[in-house]
Amino acid sequence: MPSDGTLSGTVYVETVYSAALVPGRKLPRVVVDEASQLTIAGTLLPIMQGAEQVVLLGDDRQLSSVTGGRSLFDELLASKLVKPKFLREQFRMHPEVAAFSSQHFYDHQLTCHPSWKS
């Protein structure tokens, strides 16, 4: 590891479905974004390819799985086997939109980063 603490390595950015099409490739770490929108089978694809660590990112209060079933993300949250981390500070929405979302969906816990500008 370099003295500044950074790591280097190969990063693949692809869907879980296209990642499964590469035979023999083992990914030590997999980060799945929008995991609440994936089917259980879709989320299991990188795990079945030998991933040692899988990080699921998502929001159980946004769109659910596009097939209408529950996602592995939802199942893990419901099981209480994992401790989720809540993103309290957002950088993308206009403060008025964020205030609405915070009030109606996130128990007034969502805030805007000070750098947000209208």
* pLDDT tens for each residue of 67-116: 777 888 989 999 999 888 988 999 988 999 999 999 999 999 999 998 87
pLDDT of residue 111: 94
- Among residues 77, 71, 76, 101, the alpha carbon closest in space to that of 88 is found at 101
Number of domains in the chain: 2
Domain match, 55 and 103 both:
no
Which residue would you say has higher pLDDT here, 4 or 80?
80
Domain match, 23 and 81 both:
yes
- What phi and psi, each to the nearest 5 degrees, are found at residue 32? -110, 110
Q: Do the beta carbons of residue 82 and residue 76 sit within 8 Å?
A: yes
pLDDT of residue 17: 86
Global pTM reads: 0.77
Domain match, 79 and 101 both:
no
pLDDT of residue 103: 95
| Residue range(s) defining the domain that contains residue 38 | 1-85
CATH number where 78 lies: 3.40.50.300
